[in-house]
Structure 1
């Protein structure tokens, strides 16, 4: 699942949809990195993404601390650039939040793929890795998943009909997902799922039959509900993924 984060910044700046994302108002912080055998992310991140969290955006991912926000930060995208002019390039890294991670006054613990985007060249990247922790500035940007709607994956721990656990993929545009509810298709009775951790939600004894979800989101102007175009079939199964038909 590919993202085009750099292009998305330009689109928003031209359209003036989100002026705040186009300003130079970066937040000062610090960042470090973790090691993996292939330089990508880790499938064990607390967002619950599994292998998606390892490979999304070419593995340019990070764990965050203050930006975690009890899991609401999962899937959000940031531009992170280090501030040493002799070592750091002007664009920095464009990354996706896939995990929680707290370091020495750091807001980001970056994958090797993300951290290696900070330097002006490979020699500078070697120097940055030797430093371990670097001063950075960051801003939130809108994720862009070309041709990709938000996807609901049924977690493998689910058992139809007694227990349902889901994780959301391709979230991270201009809206934060605050809560999720579901109902039996055709019913006006909604029940809330519990956020387990990260982007994982669960409910015991979900309604039977075809299921309709709705997402409570905050897109900067207050809370609102968004309804997917597609329902989840009554014979949903653990491990399956379902396209919601919407993006935000």
Structure 2
């Protein structure tokens, strides 16, 4: 009988010892949280409102105050025109947002998930877009993903997110030998461009900062013709990326070149 009791005690002690590393691995309430599904989030949720424009095929969104030549081709059907507070004189062109309909409103589509949109246009003051409103004039295909078309305008929740893009940052150079305009698109990460610098391989062998002209357009009077062009881009969150020799020395005006992009 004593032998049986001794065996039971030893077994209990062994079980306790084995359990200790598990139970003491994390203090109560301190267990690590699972990896977030929203690692790309830059900002907390805020309240705003949304309307729509551009037609069912979004053809009316082409062009606009950000200077993208063909937003549909570059960013798809889910784009947005920002109100003055959000547009910030074009400095937020290319930024990305996650938007969901405020489900307290009966015009929200039941069970609709969030949509992700890229800022490609400006919604000028007047009506819903007047300051200080946080207003999003969505493409119609984007709006109807989260709300009934007949609603016209709905309350939303929105937050800034990182942009996930396929391929590299695109640089289109136009102008003349004496004035060069560089259009920049398909920017990942923060999406919006804060600073652009260019460097050649011969006379322009140092980084030269471009001027912000409007939207996604940047200009310089530096002589770029005949130079292999490298670009250094700084986005709105302060991150910098360099694309070396993206344009050969015999590049021509109107051509588009593709460089590196931000990996999330």
Q: Does 1:196 align with 2:213?
A: yes
CA distance in structure 2 between the aligned counterparts of 1:43 and 1:90, rounded to whole angstroms: 26
Q: Does 1:72 align with 2:91?
A: yes
Alignment of 1:20-169 (within 5 A): 20-21=41-42, 25-36=44-55, 38-40=57-59, 42-51=61-70, 53-65=71-83, 66-85=85-104, 86-88=106-108, 89-102=111-124, 103-104=127-128, 105-119=133-147, 125=148, 129-146=149-166, 148-155=167-174, 158-159=175-176, 161-169=177-185
Structure 1 residue 40, shift from structure 2 partner: 4.4
Which stretches in structure 1 are left out of the alignment for 5+ residues?
A: 1-11, 120-124
Structure 1 residue 33, shift from structure 2 partner: 1.1
Which residue in the other structure is 1:179 paired with?
Answer: 195
Structure 1 residue 173, shift from structure 2 partner: 1.6
Give the structure-1-normalised TM-score: 0.76
RMSD across aligned positions (CA): 2.6
Structure 1 residue 112, shift from structure 2 partner: 0.7
Which stretches in structure 2 are left out of the alignment for 5+ residues?
A: 1-34
Give the structure-2-normalised TM-score: 0.72
Structure 1 residue 207, shift from structure 2 partner: 3.9
Larger Rg: 2
CA distance in structure 2 between the aligned counterparts of 1:31 and 1:245, rounded to whole angstroms: 34
Q: 1:80 to 1:40 in 2, by over 3 A?
A: farther
Determine which of 5, 10, 13 is the counterpart of 2:36. 13
CA distance in structure 2 between the aligned counterparts of 1:171 and 1:235, rounded to whole angstroms: 25
Structure 1 residue 206, shift from structure 2 partner: 2.8
Which residue in the other structure is 2:233 paired with?
Answer: 215
SS at match of 1:113: helix
